Structure 1
Amino acid sequence: MPVLTISHVTHYKYRQPVAFGEHRIMVRPRESYDQRLIEARLDIDPPPANLRWLHDVFGNSVAIARFDRRATALRFASFVRLEHFPVAREHVDVEAYARRYPFTYSSEDMPDLLRSIERQHHDPHRVIDGWARRFVAESGATDTVAMLSDMTATIKRDFTYVPRHEKGTQTPTETLKKMQGTCRDFAVLMIEAVRALGFAARFVSGYVYNPSRGEGRVGGGNTHAWVRVFLPGSGWVEFDPTNGIVGNRGLVRVAVARDPYQAVPLSGSWSGMPSSAAGMDVSVEIHLEDAQDFATAAVQAVAGRGDTC
């Protein structure tokens, strides 16, 4: 049971004092049976005139900050300690009726899963459908978990990870055409592909760390993105196509949403002269407190925007 400390700092800089509009902060990990918060602190400088917390429609913790003073810098620092309980692929236990694809979700689950099954991207030539069908056996039923694991591994193997710190994602068809992208691009591609096969899937934003020295992870230094697919018997199961991970080993959930724009870690506005903006720095540091031979799980600082890898 690893105990992690996560430091996530975002620092905006300006050449002249500017005024700040409302900011929305989503950096507090979700508490669940597989991750338990020990401590969570959010420091903002300059201090906001008002800071309130809420749960969004998906149950994510969101902080809303409002400011009443001008400044030449704005800094958000999140510090978290949590217990993480890794769940590996072999612990995914799917109900008998869903172990082979195709299957249909139960009448009890379907009403709540429909929006997570709906396609979100225009694909008139069914390019994503065709790619997704490659993972389905031509004759006979296909093992459900094996198929999803194969898709996860294929994206990691065949696509090139290229960091991009600007906001937004490529469309799934763009990612398929370029055969490269960021973690959020790969997540969106896999979400659309499994939705094309009738699965309920959601976008996840959070943090990635190396559980041990021999397990390299891509996507550190900023927030990370992956996929959750609903499988009867195990519920929402993690699939990280960037790293080829099935299960939550090395993955800490912060936000779960139907679409990436609903899971942006930090967003807000400022007003002043356009030339005032002097850049932004983001750093994410993750330490394994109880590791004997690999104390630092991920320590990396990057300059860019406050978006997912």
Structure 2
Amino acid sequence: MPVLTVDHRTTYRYANPVRFGEHRMMMRPRDSHDLRLLETSLILRPAGASVRWIHDVFGNSIAIARFATPASELLVESVFRAEHFPLPESAVQVEDYARRYPFSYDASEVPDIGRTAERHYPDPTHQVDLWARRFVAETPDHETLGILSAMTKAIQNEFTYNPREEMGTQDPVKTLRTLTGTCRDYALLMMEAARSLGLAARFVSGYLYDDSKLGGGPDTLIGGGVTHAWLQIYLPGAGWVTFDPTNGLISDRNLIRVAVVRDPSQAVPLKGTFTGRPGDFLGMDVSVEIRT
């Protein structure tokens, strides 16, 4: 199993020293059967910040920092080393009753699935609905994994990846209409499509590593070098199954999960405030380096 070191560095630059408000960081993964944390560190500058850790409503690890010293640069660097135990697509085992669509979740699971199975964004002309049902109609025997696999591959093959620096996520209807978006937009579109079929889906933020690139070969995956986003869909017997429509993946082989949330707005790796003069903010740099 690969042992990976992830170095996520964010630097904010200012024309004059500014005062920093509270900053919240969502960069540390949770230990699980598929990801074992071996070592972690959080580096902050200016030095002397107080840091406390909490779990959010979803159980994600959140660091909250308060800075006492004004500065013209803010550095947040999260480094961790982890052993990854990815599940291959062939190992996904769905209960017999859920292998074909439609199916119903067990009554005991419905209260806990909750809002992850509900639509979150308006679709007044049912474009997302109709798009999702296209894959039901085209999949032989309405095989559940086949439907979701076809949906994943369609986004990879029919949409144009268009990275942008602005915060936030594009409305799913706009993503479908323009056939363009970022990894966050693709994940949200597929979440809403799955929810339109009555399936529970949630948003995942983390990191992407390319096996071939780590070995010195050319890039074959899209979304590396920064944080990456994908989704999980709950399938009885298999649990929360990973889908990365940006790269057409149906497994977590190349994905390091950090945060799992109901909506993309709840998965911001770093957010905070500063007090200074108009025009003080000069810009920011973000880099993610993953190595074996």
TM-score for the superposition, normalised by structure 1: 0.91
1:273 aligns to 2:262 (yes or no): no
Following superposition, the deviation at residue 49 of structure 1 comes to 3.4
Structure 1 unpaired stretches of 5+: 290-309
Question: Whole-Å Cα distance in 2 between the matches of residues 225 and 139 of structure 1?
Answer: 26
1:234 aligns to 2:238 (yes or no): yes
Question: Whole-Å Cα distance in 2 between the matches of residues 43 and 283 of structure 1?
Answer: 14
Residue 42 (structure 2) aligns with: 42
Residue 181 (structure 1) aligns with: 181
Following superposition, the deviation at residue 157 of structure 1 comes to 0.3
State the SS of the aligned residue for 1:21: strand
The RMSD of aligned alpha carbons is 1.3
Q: Which runs of 4+ in 1 moved over 4 A?
A: 138-141
Following superposition, the deviation at residue 47 of structure 1 comes to 2.5
Following superposition, the deviation at residue 215 of structure 1 comes to 7.2
TM-score for the superposition, normalised by structure 2: 0.96
Residue 23 (structure 2) aligns with: 23
Q: Structure 1, residues 184-217: CA drift from partner, whole Å, max 9, x if none?
A: 0000100000000000000000000112347711
State the SS of the aligned residue for 1:136: helix
CA separation of 1:68 and 1:36: change in aligned 2, threshold 3 A: same
Aligned ranges 1:237-256 → 2 under 5 Å: 237-256=241-260
Following superposition, the deviation at residue 104 of structure 1 comes to 0.3
Question: Whole-Å Cα distance in 1 between the matches of residues 130 and 27 of structure 2?
Answer: 36
Following superposition, the deviation at residue 141 of structure 1 comes to 4.3
CA separation of 1:124 and 1:113: change in aligned 2, threshold 3 A: same
Residue 197 (structure 2) aligns with: 197
Residue 289 (structure 2) aligns with: 285
Residue 124 (structure 2) aligns with: 124
Instruction: Give the conservation status (yes or no) of the 8 Å contact 1:156–1:242.
Output: yes
- Count of aligned positions: 288
Aligned equivalent of 1:259, options 259, 263, 272? 263
Q: Structure 1, residues 167-194: CA drift from partner, whole Å, max 9, x if none?
A: 0111000001110110000001000000
CA separation of 1:15 and 1:99: change in aligned 2, threshold 3 A: same
* 2:164 maps to amino acid: R
Instruction: Give the conservation status (yes or no) of the 8 Å contact 1:211–1:249.
Output: no
Aligned ranges 1:101-112 → 2 under 5 Å: 101-112=101-112
Question: Whole-Å Cα distance in 1 between the matches of residues 53 and 244 of structure 2?
Answer: 29
CA separation of 1:94 and 1:66: change in aligned 2, threshold 3 A: same
Question: Whole-Å Cα distance in 2 between the matches of residues 139 and 8 of structure 1?
Answer: 40
State the SS of the aligned residue for 1:246: coil
1:64 aligns to 2:68 (yes or no): no
* 1:102 maps to amino acid: P
Residue 210 (structure 2) aligns with: 210
State the SS of the aligned residue for 2:131: helix
Q: Structure 1, residues 199-256: CA drift from partner, whole Å, max 9, x if none?
A: 0000000000112347711001110000100011111010000000001010000000
Following superposition, the deviation at residue 275 of structure 1 comes to 1.1
Residue 292 (structure 1) aligns with: none
* 1:145 maps to amino acid: L
Question: Whole-Å Cα distance in 2 between the matches of residues 27 and 97 of structure 1?
Answer: 37
Residue 169 (structure 2) aligns with: 169
Residue 96 (structure 1) aligns with: 96
Question: Whole-Å Cα distance in 2 between the matches of residues 101 and 38 of structure 1?
Answer: 40
Following superposition, the deviation at residue 48 of structure 1 comes to 4.7
Shifted more, 134-143 versus 50-59: the winner is 134-143
State the SS of the aligned residue for 2:136: coil
Instruction: Give the conservation status (yes or no) of the 8 Å contact 2:201–2:233.
Output: yes
Instruction: Give the conservation status (yes or no) of the 8 Å contact 2:139–2:146.
Output: no
Instruction: Give the conservation status (yes or no) of the 8 Å contact 1:156–1:241.
Output: yes
Question: Whole-Å Cα distance in 1 between the matches of residues 140 and 88 of structure 2?
Answer: 27
Question: Whole-Å Cα distance in 2 between the matches of residues 5 and 82 of structure 1?
Answer: 7
Instruction: Give the conservation status (yes or no) of the 8 Å contact 1:206–1:224.
Output: yes
* 1:67 maps to amino acid: F
* 1:133 maps to amino acid: R
Instruction: Give the conservation status (yes or no) of the 8 Å contact 1:48–1:65.
Output: no
Following superposition, the deviation at residue 125 of structure 1 comes to 1.0
